[in-house]
Amino acid sequence: MKCVIIEDDIVQRVFLRGLLEKINNIQVHSEYSNPIEYLQVHKEIRPEIIFLDIEMPEMTGIDFLNSITLQCPVIVTAAKKEYAFDVFNFNVVSYLLKPIHLTDLIKAIEKANVVAEESKDYLFVKSIGSLHKVLYNDILFVKGAVDYIEIFTKTKKYLVNSSLNNIETTLPQDRFVRIHRSHIVSIDYITKIENNYVIINNEELKISDTYKNILLEKIKSI
């Protein structure tokens, strides 16, 4: 994950960067001594996590959070507890007190990962030699075979060299449900459930006994 650090104290920046370098899959893209510097370039950077100090001259961390709508999780780093209540009205996933401990930092990043994944509304799939951005909202259902899957959307079908198990872990659990060892469907596009079949876009997809209760629980029929 690509992250940025916004911290006016150079000693604290170096310390935090050192901790982050010990964690896999975290890349410190850039560092800023105040939020104003970051605001000048943020549209080009698109970080996946922001580490934000609170007490800074010119513009505080809370001023910064008030000034921008952030599209990524924020982990606040602070010397005092007193600002914790103020920041959680924003996209803040963790509030770490200095000096920061590595174990607490790892937990905060894991939480940020979950939040980032839940807020994502698309996935990239490789089909016929190209990468395609597919919105979750466009996916009707997915069919699986031995060594490939077919993703059916509102407008086209993607043939992907992957497994149904793999895409099942990627799709949002609250919007998609597995109904058969070979089928995952979008709950939003189910028009009817009849005779052990789900009807989506005039396509009948069989429900197996293994997954029937899971499906019925998710749709919460009345």
Instruction: Report how far apart, in Å, the C-alpha atoms of 41 and of each of 13, 118, 149 are.
Output: 19, 26, 40
Q: Block means of pLDDT (10 residues each) for the chain, length 222 residues? A: 96 97 94 95 88 95 89 92 88 93 96 81 89 93 92 94 89 90 95 94 94 87 50
Long-range contact set of residues 98-101: C-beta below 8 Å, sequence gap at least 24: 98/12, 99/15, 100/15, 100/16, 100/19
pLDDT of residue 222: 45
CB atoms within 10 A of CB 40: 10
Annotate 72-91 with b (16+ C-beta within 10 A) or e (fewer).
Answer: bbbbbbbeeeebeebbeebb
Which residues on neighbouring strands pair with residue 92, listed in sequence order? 74
| Residues composing the chain | 222
**Calpha distance 46→30 (Å, rounded):** 11
pLDDT of residue 140: 97
Domains of the chain: 2-119 (3.40.50.2300), 122-219 (2.40.50.1020)
**Calpha distance 158→173 (Å, rounded):** 21
- Find all residues with CB under 8 Å of 181, minimum gap 6, and list them: 144, 164, 208, 210
**Calpha distance 206→157 (Å, rounded):** 19
- The whole-model pTM stands at 0.62
